[in-house]
Structure 1
């Protein structure tokens, strides 16, 4: 993957196939995921790594009075533009009264990304 003009990470068809092999589809009409259902939801299970870890993370958020987690993904208008294939990672962010799974921004600010070495 190579950044293109500092705006997007464009990928080759080969890299795209590799990324899609270990991925999950998130619909555009995805509602926030209740923290007490993290272990049952395929999106949070995928994001966290397995059902038990997802359920434990949901319980952690529930204890912090965070009842649900919204998901922010790349806008459909951006995806539908005639452009090269691109990839975006999602990351878990924020514990200041909410938690998010975010893939709509291109930078982490002070947040962390799962799986980055």
Structure 2
């Protein structure tokens, strides 16, 4: 999904400086993750100031006044790259998740079944 987002960012002409492209990462969300339910996100690295541009590229902007420059900005058309990458790769992500986590879930279920069977014999 990350590779797809980067490819779309480059293809839609939003890679002028390359800053946003360079800071796209996969990161674990520490606030929403739990030991048994980790949450990962794809997006810009918040430690770089360029992260503030991501939503403007994704969603576009309306014309607006720029007080520091004392002029009107004409706005910018949306150039989505994250949502289309998600839409294109979500089924692959689910398959990778299932292939990775599925066997562990099955093994844990088998352990619990054996434990329950032992308790039933006692």
TM range (shorter): under 0.3
Specify which structure has the higher proportion of helix.
2
Quick check: which has more Rg, 1 or 2?
Answer: 2
TM-score, normalization by structure 1: 0.25
